[in-house]
Chain A
Amino acid sequence: MRPFSYSRVADDKAAVAAAGAQNAKFLGGGTNLVDLMKHEIERPETLVDVSRLPHEEIEQTESGLRIGAAVTNSALAADAVVREKYPLLSTALLSGATQQLRNRATTGGNFLQRTRCQYFYDTQRACNKREPGSGCDAIGGLNRFHAILGASENCIAVHPSDMAVAMVALGADAETVLPQGGVRTIPADALHRLPGDTPHIDHQLAQGELITHVVLHKAPQYQMYRKVRDRSSYAFAVVSIGIAFDLLEGHFMKIRIAFGGVAHKPWRAARAEEVLEGKAPSRALFEEAADAELAEAKGQGDNDFKIPLMRRLIVASLTEMTSAQEKAA
């Protein structure tokens, strides 16, 4: 590991000031960053420890929750209100990593974890995300886990987070503090970016901009998170889906769908939402929505199977969620 200077800060202002230093990084739980530093893939010269900032509370607001960025993934998943009102989020958190990792990983940090593309980790291989301009050995390589949506000729990596998929499906907002002072609110689905020709940039945050809270709004009536993976525990998603909606007189209202494991960011399935919004559930409608969303999906060879798998996951999840509703009625 390369040498770095370490500081622990007492408030947001000190945090963003310290992070203005050359090649500085915030340190939360460190479960991803410390690992990448051991591999010397991340080489920060300054680490600003924000894990003890006073952002460890989950506050109830008028319509939802305001979650401190330092709340651990395990605390958030076990929170009674989250379990009752936002089961999508609790399930997504619990389906990621292990209890040891969830006990350290934070709400803010989870968003900012980096891809698990094996070419990003293998410093002997070309990776535009790790070394801009070096090429991408995943294209034409072993790419079973890679993107089918929104990829570029420079990068086909996927974002690994389960939590972020749930946050996008729930329409959460991230609150940040800016290095020059002031705050801003970023919708969860606008936080991450597609690779384009700058795949080394994962998200929209400025250097030194700190996520302090995540806000959840009114809980949707129906929620589900489903994850398809190669083993039943402790594995990243091959594909996953988060779905949230209300039903008004048997019609979808405010439906939001997000996919995991398919793109450089948690993928908001806006085209599928458009097909479904305001309509009455039916299998034909679910298939139409899936086809609309996946119209531009493109496999890389090893991961071609993800396209039909994702299609079936969309249809099966919507069917399960709405058939339970039929039974209740």
Chain B
Amino acid sequence: MHPLRLTVNGKPHDLEIDPRVSLLDLLRENLSMTGSKKGCDHGQCGACTVIVNGRRINSCLSLAVTHEGDDVTTIEGTADGEALSPLQAAFVKHDAFQCGYCTPGQICSATALLDELKRGEPSVVTKEKVELVDEEIRERMSGNLCRCGAYNNIVDAILEVAEART
């Protein structure tokens, strides 16, 4: 067992864990925060996406023990009490999900994406400067699968919030 201290959604935790535990399993099983979802458990679907120190990652592919001192944000930490985050509200408005299983990962991913856009970070489809177009959002969200196929509405929801921010 290894000692681990990290912060999840602003709350510090002091734990003892098996080094085999993934960050996803730590969140779901040890901390009972089941918002982050286990889809493929192999980094292919994005349902487990969380934000660590401001960057989105697949929590299923990350050993929890490597996150000593890190600051983790999950879907449970994106709303302000009962007030939805702008992205959450946009997902509701645009009907950007059906079953909802991929949605926590989609929203964590998109939350970090907005910061990447703000920092002017490129994607492979970026020419000189980032433009807020469908293609740019689709490329940047390609790590989040939606088996219901709500992609058109997901892109609309993210674009609306991104445009409001610029």
Contacts and interface: CB of A to CB of B under 8 A. Distances in A.
Interface string B14-50: 0000011010000000000000000001110010010
A100 B121 contact: no
Contacts of B116: 99
Nearest to A234: B142
Interface residues of B, number: 33
Interface centre among B19, B61, B123, B140, by most A CB within 10 Å? Answer: B61
A101 interface: yes
B121 A78 contact: yes
Given A98-B143, A100-B49, A4 B56 contact: no
Given A27-B63, A94-B124, A233-B142, A103 B57 contact: yes
B22 to A, nearest CB: 7
Classify the interface of chain B: helix, strand, loop or mixed. mixed
A51 B67 CA distance: 10
Interface centre among A31, A94, A99, by most B CB within 10 Å? Answer: A99
Contact of B19 (A4, A38, A95): A4
Interface string A18-35: 000000000100110011
B42 A6 contact: no
Given A27-B66, A49-B66, A104 B143 contact: no
A100 B57 contact: yes
B57 A98 contact: no
A181 interface: no
24 contacts: A6-B19, A6-B63, A8-B66, A27-B66, A38-B41, A47-B19, A47-B63, A78-B122, A83-B122, A91-B124, A94-B122, A94-B124, A95-B124, A98-B143, A99-B109, A99-B113, A99-B143, A100-B49, A100-B58, A101-B43, A103-B57, A104-B58, A232-B139, A233-B139
Give the top 3 A-B pairs by smallest Cβ distance, nearest first: A98-B143, A233-B142, A94-B124
Given A94-B124, A101-B58, 7 more contacts: A6-B65, A8-B68, A99-B56, A99-B123, A101-B61, A104-B58, A233-B139
